[in-house]
Structure 1
Amino acid sequence: MLINGGLMSESLRQDAVTSEIVTYMRRMISSGKWPVGSKIPSENQLRTRLNVSRTSLRSAIMQLAALNVLKAKQGIGTFVISALHDEAIFEETGKNMAVKKEIVQILEFLKIVAPTAIFLEIKKFNKCFKGLERQLNHAVEAQRSLAYTDQAAFLQSCFEFHIVIFNSIVNEFVRNSVVEAISRLQTSVAALQPTISSQVILTLHTKLISAIVDEDAKRACSVLKKLYTYLTAHDYLRNLS
């Protein structure tokens, strides 16, 4: 199927273009035209040469950077830092990049929907979270201990924490939509097992409990928005390989 044939969705077309750019870059490196230690052409030069978008080009560079083949130095350029890895590693990276894209999409959805849902539920049904304080505090204490012993279990515990909160929402449609999104996020993150700083998450979880207990809709909304914004923007998403 031709990329320019108009038969592919925009997302699939972009993925295909990115794959072609990666193939081109690998060929330049393996042929010795871009030797280890050399600086590759600038972003503008590559975009002109390959007639591709900035998004596709950066995605390709990110894939090779995740494999420690390329390294971008801010204000200087992008350099070849090691020889190519085995083909199988590239295939696995492609799968991981697809999972990473799904993670970002889910987080963007939750960043918009979840804070608003919390705000409206507290405003309309200010007793919907009544009785959760003890359970949520216990969950955060468990997260605190897991953060230093088992990163994967810590992240899974965080997802369960959010599922408990949103399962208490009265609006069935919103409840099911958010819980399903969190469950999908839980599965996707488990597949990649990223390492992420836990202190910010623990602090925001504690503040979220306080806002829920105080039935402070505005504060709960703000805390949740900060949490999902942090997760969406965090460096671990750029470092997934």
Structure 2
Amino acid sequence: MLQKTSRLTLVEQVALQMERQIESGKWAVGMRIPAEPELMVELNVSRNTLREAIRALVHAGLLKTKQGDGTYVCSSSVLGVVLQKRIMRSDSLQTLEVRHALEREGAHLAAQRRTDEEARELLLQLERWERAAARGDMDGVVTEDIRLHQGIIAASHNEILIELYNHIADALQDLITSITRYEADTDFLLIHRQLVEAIVDQDADRAVATVHRYISESKAVLEIKGDERL
């Protein structure tokens, strides 16, 4: 027999309001949330209630408390936390296959739907990526690589795809770092330029084929490296 649902406790209500601030983007990832006195006034709750709500969101993986500094947003949603944890438990090949699926469809849609402004921004982002590679800044290469792919996914104008990809971007960073450091002297840069040019030219088939090429190269790198996670 189904039981009557219970009302949310005050702590749960406060946690839900704070979660909505995060999911709406008002509290962005990396941002320090307002101090306790400010939140107590804004939410009209006691210090103990507020702290319990914060503890619940820390446990959920949305917030992180730094002793003596404050509390920071570390994920944009509970879904993001779940996906990131799941990816961290997966081997590199499975993670790469998921990346392939998302980026292949993202490139296909981006080539069909990108705006002129998005096309210009992708070219600029590609140049930032190439400059980082030219000066040997591998950390910069990884950062710009992730931003480039997020830009491509954003140009797909598919909100669910964008949300999924952004949630796993952080979890992909270690894998991208490992592969990019190895491929710095290959035609990896050229392949990405060809991908962006295909999207700019609105050639969806060429964009998909290019994604397949760099994912195949990445798989080959994992085989050569004998990745310990495989």
Taking structure 1 as the reference length, the TM-score comes to 0.49
Quote the residue 1:220 is aligned against.
207
Question: Matched residues in 1 for 2:180 and 2:122: separation?
Answer: 24
Q: What is the root-mean-square deviation of aligned Cα atoms in Å?
A: 2.9
1:115 and 1:221 in contact (8 A); partners too: yes
Provide the C-alpha distance between the structure 1 equivalents of 2:176 and 2:110, rounded to a whole number of angstroms: 28
Residue 158 of structure 2 corresponds to residue 171 of structure 1: yes
Matched, 1:230 2:186: no
Residue 128 of structure 1 corresponds to: 114
Pairing partner for 1:110 from 79, 99, 103: 99
- AA aligned to 1:114 is E
| Structure-2 change in CA distance of 1:151 and 1:210 (3 Å) | same
Alignment of 1:173-212 (within 5 A): 173-187=160-174, 189=176, 195-198=181-184, 199-212=186-199
For residues 189 and 110 of structure 1, the distance between their equivalents in structure 2, rounded to whole angstroms, comes to 10
- 1:80-159 correspondence runs (5 A): 102-120=91-109, 122=111, 126-148=112-134, 149-159=136-146
The one-letter code sitting in structure 2 at the alignment partner of 1:108 is: E
User: 1:193, CA displacement in angstroms?
Assistant: 8.7
SS at match of 2:183: coil
| Contact map agreement 2:114 2:156 (CA 8 A) in 1 | yes
Matched pairs, number: 140
Amino acid at match of 1:138: L
- The whole-number CA distance in structure 1 between the counterparts of 2:222 and 2:92 is 13
Percent of aligned pairs with the same residue?
A: 19
The answer (yes or no) to whether the contact 2:104–2:211 under 8 Å persists in 1 is: yes
Give the drift of 1:238. Answer: 2.0
| CA gap 1:217/1:189 in 2 versus in 1, 3 angstroms | closer
* Contact preservation (8 Å) 1:136, 1:209: yes
Residues 172, 103 of structure 1: alpha-carbon distance in 2 compared, 3 angstrom cutoff: same
Which residues of structure 2 form unaligned runs of 5+?
A: 1-86
* Unpaired segments ≥5 residues, structure 1: 1-97
Contact kept, 8 Å, 1:99 with 1:188, in 2: the verdict is no
